[in-house]
Each structure stands twice: as C-alpha cells, then as structure tokens.
C-alpha cells in the first residue's frame, strides 16, 4: 500500500509520546485537577493517532483495495474528529467560556473534518489521511510538553 511507511511512522510517534507520558506520570507525586485533564488529552490524542494511522494498512489487508481502506479510515477519523469537536464545544459552553477563547480549538478540527470528508469523497489518498492526523499529533506533543514542563508559578 502506498504511504504505509508514513502512516506507520505516525503510529510509532503516537506510541512514543504515550509511552513517555506514562513514564512521566509514574514519576509524578501530586496531581492537580488540570494536570489530570492534560494527561487525559495527551493519552487520548496519542492513542487516536496511533489507531487511525494503523487503520488503513489493516483495512488494506482485509479489502485489498488501497483507496477503499484509506477512505474507510478517513471516514472513521472524520467521525472521531466530529465527536471530539462536539464534546469540546459543549464543555466550553457549559463553562460559559466566551467564543473567542475557544474558537481556535474548534477551527483546527473543522479543517481536519473537511479534509477527511474530501478524502472520502474525492481522493482516497494515504498522504491526505496522514496530513489530517498531523494536528492531532501536534495536540499530543503540545500537551506532553505542558505535562512534563508545567509553566512556572506566576507566569
């Protein structure tokens, strides 16, 4: 399958980030509520990247059709992105957060969702699927950095 190496590399990075997060979590003595949320976001994002990067090659072995497997995986990732975005918006609305505060956190997943829909409908390309996974990988690594090196008090 074309692009399989790229997808496997993304899956490996997701596993590595989740693994390092586990090591960092085991060394932590005290947990603030915000740190638990950061850790949850980090692990969920890492595992999602790993799963959705491995899904096209697995589906390829079942269907023997590269475009069909990528389209199915892109549809799955699009549904996952839509539910994450919906949950995020609901949580911010419940917290009465102004729209301008969380709008950037909704724009990224919206772009990914549109990209996944286009990949399902038009392209069925592994490279486009991998491109859609990159924002999730960014979230995982950004939260890993936040989790391992929290901001200094008063900053």
Q: Phi first, then psi: give them for residue 114, nearest 5 degrees.
A: -65, -45
Evaluate whether 110 touches 56 at the Cβ level (below 8 Å).
no
Q: pLDDT for 125-146, tens place per residue? A: 999 999 999 998 988 888 888 7
Mean pLDDT, residues 94-104 taken together: 76
Q: pLDDT for 14-43, tens place per residue? A: 999 999 988 988 888 887 776 777 788 888
% of the chain with per-residue pLDDT over 90? 53
Global pTM reads 0.87
CA dihedral 6, 23, 43, 141 (to 10 degrees): -60
Distance (Å, rounded) from C-alpha 97 to C-alpha 101?
A: 7
Residue 89 burial class via C-beta count within 10 angstroms: exposed 0-12, middle 13-18, buried 19 and up:
middle
Q: pLDDT grade, residue 155 (50/70/90)?
A: low
């Amino acid at each position: 399958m074309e692009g399989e190496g790229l997808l496997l590399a993304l899956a490996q990075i997701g596993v590595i980030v989740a693994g390092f997060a586990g090591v960092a979590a085991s060394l932590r003595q005290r947990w603030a509520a915000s740190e638990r949320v950061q850790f949850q976001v980090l692990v969920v994002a890492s595992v999602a990247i790993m799963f959705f990067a491995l899904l096209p090659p697995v589906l390829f072995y079942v269907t023997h059709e590269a475009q069909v497997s990528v389209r199915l995986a892109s549809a799955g990732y699009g549904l996952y992105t839509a539910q994450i975005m919906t949950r995020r918006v609901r949580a911010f609305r419940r917290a009465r957060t102004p729209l301008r505060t969380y709008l950037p956190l909704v724009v990224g997943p919206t772009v990914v969702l549109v990209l996944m829909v286009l990949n399902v409908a038009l392209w069925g390309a592994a490279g486009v699927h991998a491109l859609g996974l990159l924002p999730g990988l960014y979230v995982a690594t950004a939260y890993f950095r936040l989790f391992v090196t929290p901001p200094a008090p008063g900053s």
